[in-house]
Structure 1
């Protein structure tokens, strides 16, 4: 090959040597034709004469050149000159990650930045069917401007099916490796690679995990004096916890790295995209924590309460903040953003302050096997009741917070949920749920036969004196004696039209009021307080966002509640007397179901890391595939007229709700609406696919239209809220809107509005979920006779003449792509556990698919012109119970 003294190689002028390796040397050169600086990689003479190594050299170049990604080294040319084979690549003005690590241990923000860019590069490679197989600090370069480049695909391996990474499928290599042949740098090898087994994309995930560990700890997770020692360590030993070398590391980063380093590849991250998403989430949460800490004024110690609207900035200017904590032992990367003085004096006792929650005061309660949720304290705060699955069915359990194993209380075929411990300590109420049938039961904390309290009730909660329960039935909130007698509906609860509404009512400590989450705009809403004796309800938040079960502080001054107002489901508080909402704590995943012990010294809640997935199912074959996975909802998906794109709404990291589109192939995700503090929901396509109609709840209350390309939206009708003018849909001609007028959660009338003139006409049947046929001549919708959902009927009505006929019983009807059949949910299946279809003439009614194994979210779905069904799936992560100990505050 050309020696270093060679000054020219073809059109390249060699300037200096950059480095050398086992296969060749790298030179800095000048491309005289394109006038740019390049790097030339040339083989040693003995390597060039080896056919297998030559194939490896060429295949490295081909593998790299097939990838077009900002974090992957760009290949310019594969060439030969003066008997030398070379690759011309972009020149990286910077240093290797190894050199960077030797100069100083990187800060956490730098570690995450590097990890995100490397993971992004690997995600692109894996999607192209290419596995790197030699990720190590020497193969990662950092440019001076901060851009990371992944080098050397010399060990790259092409998967069988280019375009996807099948983690179980065999692979074919660019160069053949005999069984037992080990390729790659030993210190960064996965267990399967060290054994010489067939590898897939998960081997790169392991290697990246090793690099991440080394970046954080300043040392390798697996070490030894010989190659054999290192391999034994990789195959048999667990690395020391990161906290030993970096006490400040977030627990969430420890979890991410530990999952990447699972020895069994099926227990590891299955795709690098999953790892990349977790890293992005952690980075965003840390940035949000820092932002909140910087924005907290020094006047917080002055003690005056700010009573402005909760639409104002989220951190109160008069409350005492928590120091941001990033130490080991916190909730899965728990970042305690801000804590406050929850309650002061109660019955003469000095209640603890939550102005600072130290790492030692956070601990995981559910360290035993399984998934656990919905914890409730015993009266003395020393035990908890919760639910956990047994053979796939949720049962009620109790456990001491100090010692001993959990004890199972129920053994039922029906799933249990929402256990609540009575103030007297003698009973635990819970919900027993079967398809189409829910009931409230009670069981002794010591076990025994459960007793039924109420048929048809759900989400029970005790009054402070333990004499009464509050619960939900259908659309109303009720109270009852603990034996089920003297049931009273609470007047003044704001109406909702949302069928799947769960208000999660909770008694105030003195029993005079109920706090609840009000779904007044479909699945989103706000928190309210309603007097038990009747009277006007008061709205506490104005977020129009997803929420859950609220909890009162023992002095009755604050409500603790989960909210997505900051982009992820986390815990907040709001003064009952009015004022802005303030963050309590934030973590990776979703924080829900808070409860505070009666003495105010403990807070417990559920943390879950869920995924939401847009799914596409072929109605004929029932074959399903994933389009997109996200940590936040992608709600109310709808096909464009030609079936090529899907529109939906979702929450961004700032807590805003916007309209997005994505290709039916899962590519080209695009945000349509923009703007701070906007709430844009329930989108639908225009007939020509050029525009999108949607509701806006903030900053305006209106029904609007926007180009699919984005830009300024236009108001079609002012003052329309989902809760009062429900289910608006524009006809295929773009001239009329059908919608439902809502009164106390039920349809008072179904109206057709002329867009140009504003004139309206009413249908004879009050339909909800009304949808136009594709020719605009018929309407299908749900009629609820006597406001009894169990009698709900699906009817088809002619637009002209208003003639209607019943098709079947059920709800949420959708036309098939050719209008010959109706898809719907039956009311024997109230949780939307299966999808059915019926002929538009009635009859030929059949079950299309069982949705229970797929965990669908709500009843939002759509059918394309090609007979594809799009819907949102819920991939449940493991629920964990976490305790905040406030006794030392």
Structure 2
């Protein structure tokens, strides 16, 4: 086999050896700047799909063995396996008694750790054991060779056994170290490893091979018939060797760790070694690949357990566009992972114990998201529109904690039982008892602030950290005194670790900075993990970390922050007008020659008008505000109306050419949604209702009468729109809990000005009514449409169909397209988008911060 120059991001530097299972190379991991060993499988093996599938499955499991005396499996790359590079010599005797017992203790520790996880080596031999110059023993190749067909050759280096159960009568292993039951082709378990341990201990003390023969058959015959020469070893070692080499496995030493009780005197102290524990986490049904490609930006200390990186391939797509929060989370004790599913039917939460493969949906969480754990990891909190609920992680019926009229942006469950809630634009943090009650404001918005969100409890729960919008700075709130202090500028989505470390996101990268007991930063933030997917407009990231140092995250996969302004025709043709960074809520002027855009993020929008022919941008607002996204044009195109949800809440009117400042025309947390056909009625949305207000458009702008309730709703995605003829209103609706309710909700239509009649139409949200009479909605990140036919006050709608396969950029509950009179759609298309089903959860075990 010729020397390859590189495999993936591993640069090959030299060849270490070659055997029946392929060649082994020394290589440099160019991402993590460390040397590794890479075993490249031979062509005869790699071309066998069954073998490769079994090899890949087992390698993923073996990568989870985490012990200082087990050479780590770092990952799988195509037909190669990446392993820890162990410097040192293979185990060889004769050795002094104390040295042999020291090495035996380390081998037994490795076996015990693997056996506790249900893994049997089945091919333990001196060739699979190395001793470093520091005297640390490393056991290699736990079942990595998968050859079911054995070629003739050196019986000492005969093929390595697979971890999986083998065919009846098939003899697999290395002959001189095979247990009698293994030599007969019977099923084996950990007692086969204990036999091999006894043989190896005898050989360490004597310097000779215990079972010999001219052929493999002769060696196997000796294994089955010959008794060990106990007189050849010191008396102190004889009891343990005899117990290990019982030919009847039922009489053999039961566990690797039991060997010590059979030694007459305590063994010599072993060299200091780090120990670690990794949960037996993922099986082949839950893992697609085990790789070490995390962009960790510092070297792992030599004494630390190796970083293990596992990638889960789930049987369902993740709701990575979840407007409520991250699609993945991990419990404080690191024992469970929670997922937000995105599939047909209602969005649901699912949970998995990290030591078990089965992922279980949680009944009663339909429509839920923004999951968070109690501090003891025994309960799971989650948010459904209008309420916060909790459910036991072991199963049970969800119970209501509190009703809430605000959209929740993060929750932190304190050890005193209180839950701190972040909120959407216009609101501070709230506090509510986990036992139930009314949410009460905890913080106060300062001048210029629009939102406090993503709370994290720190410093023994004495402080809560949160992100302030629009500054995207992280502040600490003292829960005893109410004092507020600045912690970090330019940061979002804070997490606190028990050791006093603050983690936060900046530009898709995870940063770390130490905190003292008063939540003051110690030093400068340091980048620790790159490429974390973020829900940019709500400040959340697809990231979670347990108190035990296990990380769950989803890498970045779509740039929602730089959407492409695109014309799309009904037959799918596209005309790209250019990237508009941080844009949302496009609304076309009546003549479709201009578009008003919100630019910024939730709670901090600037309003601009773009000339679609010349590309010129005109700013309409003097500062970033908590604007209720989607602005509205007057029928003559001379003015733009928009809502502000912050301290100066109300509906504002501004000339569309920016020639004069905006003025407030009505107060209240109201958002304009569109004019009726004659311009005499303005459609308005509040937090819980669709309203209509008399309107008059004149030379000085727009004047409004008192809004009247048209219909009450309980839907934060309430974007009502008039039909082109002004006789119908479409709006987000949750009163009729239809079985068709999707991840995005559902919408209904009602006649205007009539009341009482309501026609649930389809799943989706953010409806737009085209001039041709089609209702268009956003569902699954794409534009869907449904044809509706009105006869008097009766409405009949057809089946929802996909209008375009172009995925749109996603911003929290913000329309991302509008329909033109000629049938085209102006959309903010996603750049580099991938289907949510391709999003995978990455798990990092033994995640260590700099200095730890």
Q: What TM-score results when the alignment is normalised by the length of structure 1? A: 0.46
**Greater Rg by CA:** 2
**TM-score, normalized by length of structure 2?**
0.48
Structure with bigger RCO (C-alpha 8 Å, 6+ apart): 2
